[in-house]
Amino acid sequence: MVFSTPIFLFGFLPVFLAAYYLVPRAGRNWLILLASTLFYAWWRTDALIVLYVVAGSSYAAAKLATQTRDATVKTWAVRAGVAVNLAILGWFKYTTFILGNLNTALGGDALTVPEIILPIGLSFLTFQSISYILDVARGDAPPARKLSDFLAFSSLFPQLIAGPVLRYKDLAHQFETREHSVALFCRGARRFIEGLAMKLLIADSVAPLADRIFALSDPTVAEAWLGALAYSIQLLFDFAGYSAMAIGLGLMIGFHFPENFDAPYTSRSITEFWRRWHISLSRWLRDYLYVPLGGNRGGRLRTYRNLVLTMVLGGIWHGANWTFVVWGLWHGGLMALERALGAKHRDTVWPRLLAWPVTMICVVLGWVVFRAASLGEAMTMYAGMFGAHGLPLRAETVLLTAPTEVICLALGMVLSMAPRPALHPVAWAARLQPAALSMLCLIAVQARTVSPFLYFQF
């Protein structure tokens, strides 16, 4: 079930909210667990087995690690819990990729490559479960008091599919007591509508433009950069829109989720970009990969190695494709370069007037390989961006580009790249904004087919 579909907006969500505020407080976590189970089963009922095996095994491993007095048992409980998570993620996400590459290396089809359907949200679920096991074992977080609360946390439908990546220690107290008020509910509803508008009005409007250009076999300079910019805007408004909707849904039932985006396209370095883009994932990678690898404690070369390795593993987390490996190398290499130039002690290492354009060009170049279905497709786009197929837009591209695509692309660029104070609305406009966005979203929902969120595939 997708947040932007009529069945969710006019069926699931209002029924759930009505039931939530009708049942006694003591039953609300159970209702969340039931609703989340139905929400997830809407996609595939058999995937529920995977979800609850991951959650149940993580709960059991953390419980054993906290109850035993034997240090060896504790260590192996943690290792087993993490290994089960990684094994499940590896089987569903990387088996086909690994066997396919082995077949290619062996020059034939000696190995049978199974068709495996990746359960939606599995990457987010395993990261959350691993952080729970490690936090509890380290004493950084209390163990869940009830299995039902932990299952409700693991399957929490507002964020289950595409984050933010939550940590149980940040929400543990909210499963025991949560604030509910009309003001908080309205704040959540406004945030949800803003996210819905980001998805429906901007991301989905520019998506056809990006899709058409990435499908060209010989894009010109103008076409390739237009397609790369369109995808950059589509991805930001699609993913940040989902995060805003998740945060809004959480507020409507009393949860406070962490922010996941902070104007990333205003960054003046790649290092700053990763403090603003997918913040919950960046913090997870820092705390559970970069720091355990040694962080910056082993000298400059080890620091650069750890930065690159962390970003490559973060790239692989996004998908089983060499394109994500290259994307991780690109960002890890740039972060290592900026660290070598002194990024740890300065806001940016680039000249003041060049910092923002240099950063944005690097980000957009990275999104090309991130978006491409293969390295060959990415090279086609890069060849176009650097002039291999001519300069101007061709007549057929101009003819196929709808005015709404251009308008929404321009609007998305202004909203994502302009300084925040310049976009602060006046009071009367702020009051009208939710109603106006709701009307526009209603029209878009009725006029378009369902478009899944891009991060569903991760």
DSSP for 115-173, written as a single string: --PPPTTHHHHHHHHHHHHHHHHHTSSPPPS-HHHHHHHHT-TTTTTT-----HHHHHH
What is the predicted pLDDT for the residue at 419? Answer: 67
CA 329 vs CA 93, 310, 367: distances in Å? 20, 9, 13
Q: With contact defined as beta carbons under 8 Å apart, do 230 and 204 qualify?
A: no
In angstroms, the CA 315 to CA 276 distance is 17
Average confidence (pLDDT) over 271-282: 93
On the question of pLDDT at 213 being above 90, the answer is yes
Catalytic residue among 318, 331, 345, 389: 318
Q: Quick one: tokens of 314?
A: 């973060």
What is the predicted pLDDT for the residue at 191? Answer: 94
Average confidence (pLDDT) over 56-75: 92
Average confidence (pLDDT) over 390-413: 93
Could you give the count of Cα atoms lying within 13 Å of 326 in the half-sphere of its Cβ?
Answer: 17
Closest CA relative to residue 454, chosen from 330, 370, 349, 380: 370
The residue among 318 and 445 whose pLDDT is bigger is 318
Reported as a single tens digit per residue, the pLDDT across 138-166 is: 888 888 888 888 898 888 888 887 768 88
For the chain, give the mean pLDDT: 89
Known active-site residue 180: no
In angstroms, the CA 58 to CA 130 distance is 7
Ranking 36-50, 187-201, 222-236, 263-277 by mean pLDDT, the lowest is 36-50
Q: With contact defined as beta carbons under 8 Å apart, do 161 and 456 qualify?
A: yes
What is the predicted pLDDT for the residue at 426? Answer: 61
Closest CA relative to residue 206, chosen from 410, 444, 421: 410
What is the predicted pLDDT for the residue at 421? Answer: 57
SS3 label, residue 299: coil
Structural domain spans, the chain: 6-178, 184-268+350-456
